[in-house]
Chain A
Amino acid sequence: MAVLDGIKAANENLLVAAKIGAAAALNAPKLANTQIKMEILTDEEVAPLIEILGIIGETNAFVSGDALVGKRALEAGTPIIELLIGVDGTTSDLAWNCGACGFNTCAEFNRYSRENRGAGAFFTGPNCCWKNFDFGMAQSWAAAAIAEMGVECRCQASYGFAGLVLGYLEGCTIATAVSIGPAGESIWYDRRDLTGSFTMKEHEQFMMNTLPQLYVAFCGGGFPLLKHRPDWAAEPLFWKAKEDPEFMAKQEDIRARVTKVIEREKAKKLKK
């Protein structure tokens, strides 16, 4: 007989939840006979994903929060587990000719897909809608099965994307991850790890940047005043769209740094 540390045991056992989640994804209903691919990353294997998301997060608040929670968990010795789920949806073998992809026949879609394969901001396409739909159902079953066990988890496209660019789920064009653990309450939802990560002033600026409709005053001459503070008319600010070379340069820098991480990790794998 032995006495186990409950918290340690809970975190050690997250892998079991991940495996059951994977089984649930396979067990999920499929409309289009879609082949799902999965890989489970544990311990230090999640570190490069977190690193990549940290870099991308410099200009993306959503992603930066995802990265920070993963990072803090790793630092605390209770690393998250990533159940990566992916699919290659670039070919339709259905011949349903449903039109959802924008083509009248699956044959037309397949031709277009062969000739126009490319990466968007996150994933490679084009993909058959029904393959993608099945992929969503599989994700949903994995997460639901894990949540049923009372295990902390969240479906996240960010970690799926990071996994894909790092070479996991070979051959897949879309991927999402179920981030599992650390064992605790609403780790991925309340995000207590983000406590103190922004000031109220930064928050107010973020809201004005992302929801300008709330701040727009009388439209007047076509460039409306912004209600940026209670006495907004005293110091007029105007809403205008303009190019942002500084932001674009930052994006370029992010792309270059992410590529470096990808190459470093590839080299590591080759050494192994």
Chain B
Amino acid sequence: MSKIQISDWPPYSPADLARREGSLAAAKLMAAAAFTAPKGGGVDQIECAIAYGQEEQEEIARKVEDLADLNPETRLWKPICRSEAIMVREADCILFIGDYRAGDSPFDLNCGICSGAVGCSRMYTEKSSKYGQIDAVEGKAKRARAMIDGPLCAFWVGDLGYAVGSAAFIARRLLVDSRPMMTVGVAGQKLGYCPNSEIVVGLPIAALQKSPFWDITPDYQYLSLSKAISQLRKNYVTARQVHWFAYRTWRPKEIAEKEEK
């Protein structure tokens, strides 16, 4: 038997690592919920991946920061990316949920969600298709979509919503914090998480005493906890040097002591 100390501070200390294991377990249960979520026709289409560890999360956070420059004209895009990159760093782990059919294996229902009356034919004509199959690799460079190589089967995208919703619902039940993020999904997909999926959503997960995913500030990249701590360390070490003090040889007099003399 062993005694396990669990704490959320300092980050990546043994006690913090013990705590993070709980979030990892939650991530796996959330993935289970994504698999059992309702799907059109019950058709298999979902894959999951988990990023767990400082290095892995830092890599994803930097990729999300790279995305921030993609839409200079879009007012909210950059702040979303910059804020969510911080959340990736502060999370305990990241669950990725992808749909591996959305890019090249539509439901063939002709449902109309992606294109209206044109139906499935839009996907089969905009991407290379033959023998009733789509090859999304052919012509991909020419399509050169910034983040996702569409068009996608929108019916399956709705099903991805079911899967991510179910995963988020389980997180809520477990009282673990999590929030679905498009930016994190795109970054993860570019880094090889859910490698078979053209569309991926990321769910950072955290079991911290304050959720890192809500109650953030504007300009969060300037005001994040890591910035504040970094600033505090800088100020603190300089402040404590201002009064040079040989602690082994003397001690400053208290005001009361001074008055007595």
A residues neighboring B (CB under 8 Å): 28-29, 31-32, 62, 89, 94-104, 116-127, 129-130, 132-141, 143-145, 148, 154-155, 157, 173-174
CB-CB nearest in chain B for A123: B112
- The residues of B that contact A98 with a CB separation of less than 8 Å are 145-148, 150, 182, 186
Report the 6 A-B pairs with minimum CB-CB distance, sorted nearest first: A120-B112, A136-B161, A99-B145, A118-B117, A140-B165, A102-B151
Residues in B neighbouring A137, C-beta threshold 8 A: 161-162, 164-165, 168, 180
Decide yes or no whether B44 CB sits under 8 A from chain A. Answer: no
| Chain A contacts for B166, CB-based, 8 A | 140, 144
Measured CB to CB, the closest approach of chain A to B201, in angstroms, equals 7
Residues of chain B lying within 8 A (CB to CB) of residue A145: 169
Is residue B118 contacting chain A, with contact meaning CB distance below 8 A?
yes
Provide the bound-state CA to CA distance between A137 and B179, in Å: 12
For A89, A125, A136, which residue has the most chain B Cβ atoms within 10 angstroms? A136
A144 touches B169 (CB 8 A): yes
Q: Are B122 and A102 neighbours in the complex by a CB distance under 8 Å?
A: yes
Asked if residues B162 and A155 are in contact (CB atoms below 8 Å), the reply is yes
Question: What are 27 pairs between A and B in contact, CB < 8 Å?
Answer: A28-B165, A31-B181, A31-B182, A62-B41, A97-B146, A99-B143, A100-B150, A100-B152, A102-B152, A120-B112, A121-B109, A122-B111, A122-B112, A125-B114, A126-B115, A129-B148, A129-B199, A133-B201, A135-B161, A137-B162, A137-B165, A138-B165, A140-B37, A140-B165, A141-B165, A144-B166, A145-B169
CB-CB under 8 A from A102, the residues of chain B are 114, 122-123, 126, 145, 150-152
B259 within 8 A of A: no
Which chain A residues lie closer than 8 Å to B119 at the CB level? 120-121
Q: A residues within 8 A CB of B180? A: 29, 31, 137
| Residues on A with beta carbons closer than 8 Å to the beta carbon of B145 | 98-99, 102, 104
Q: How many residues of B contact A (CB 8 A)?
A: 55
Nearest to B179 among chain A residues (CB) is: A29
Supposing A132-B157, A133-B161 touch, asked if A119 and B146 sit within 8 A by C-beta, the answer is no
The chain A residue with its CB closest to the CB of B170 is A144
Q: Are B168 and A29 neighbours in the complex by a CB distance under 8 Å?
A: yes
Residue of B nearest to A107 (CB): B73
Contact B146–A99 (Cβ < 8 Å): yes
Interface bits B216-258 vs A (CB < 8 Å: 1, else 0): 0000000000000000000000000000000000000000000
